[in-house]
Amino acid sequence: AQNTEFFSKKSDCSLFLFGSHSKKRPNNLIIGRMYDYHILDMIELGIEKFVALKDIKNSKCPEGTKPMLIFAGDAFDIDEAHRRLKSLLIDFFRGPVVPSIRLAGLEHVLHFTAVDEKIYMRSYKVLLKKSGCKIPRIELEDMGPSLDLMIRRTHLASDDLYKLSLKQPKALKPKKKKNVSHDVFGTKYGRIHMQKQDLDKLQTRKMKGLKKRTSEKKTEDGENPKKLKLE
């Protein structure tokens, strides 16, 4: 643990993955993360079945593609170890944070299924097929690697330390603007507060075309307007 914390601080790295093999724990995989250069939590996984990327002869997605993560199974929401493992895998595979992404860039899917105390990891390439409309038909093609895993030992942080690690500095939190809201489509709305206006004293732009004629003024004063003789 001390060596892990030393190398984490030296390389400024918050995540680590360590593989080992022994007679007591064959095909062992340890995944973990740090908080303030100290081990926050780590989970030991046993690899029961492995298929390499090169063993599946299909087309691959480009290196560095941001993956879509899918988690299936009630254990990821019920069991604490599985919930922490889900959080660990999201931190490990989510990639860089981007403001937007184009449809053609959604090429990679990582699927994790928890069933019968095992976790099945599968990697798929997204194929966009013609569907006869604007929305394409989606197909998933296995491209590897794939792993069948089982949870062995766990070292989980206490609830207080885990909540502390999730706390964000005030400088990183977006400042809330008063009387500003957004709808589901992203449209920005603002509310302003004004005093009640007297519309009778409202100054408008004077235009010659809006000036009253002499006959209209006399009518408003109660006098009969001059009758025009029609020829």
Specify the pLDDT at position 231. 45
Specify the pLDDT at position 124. 94
150 neighbors 143 (Cβ within 8 angstroms):
no
Bridge partner residues of 146 (DSSP) = 51
Specify the pLDDT at position 215. 64
Specify the pLDDT at position 212. 65
Specify the pLDDT at position 49. 94
Q: Is 217 helix (H, G, I), strand (E, B) or coil?
A: helix
**What are the per-10-residue average pLDDT scores of the chain (231 residues)?**
80 88 92 88 94 89 88 92 93 85 85 93 91 86 92 89 81 72 78 78 69 62 51 45
Specify the pLDDT at position 216. 61
Q: Which two tokens stand for residue 160?
A: 């207080």
pTM: 0.68
Q: Which two tokens stand for residue 11?
A: 């390389």
The dihedral through the CA atoms of 55, 58, 63, 66 has a sign that is negative
Q: Which two tokens stand for residue 74?
A: 């009630």
What is the distance between the alpha carbons of residues 97 and 53, in angstroms, rounded to a whole number? 26
Q: Which two tokens stand for residue 84?
A: 């922490």
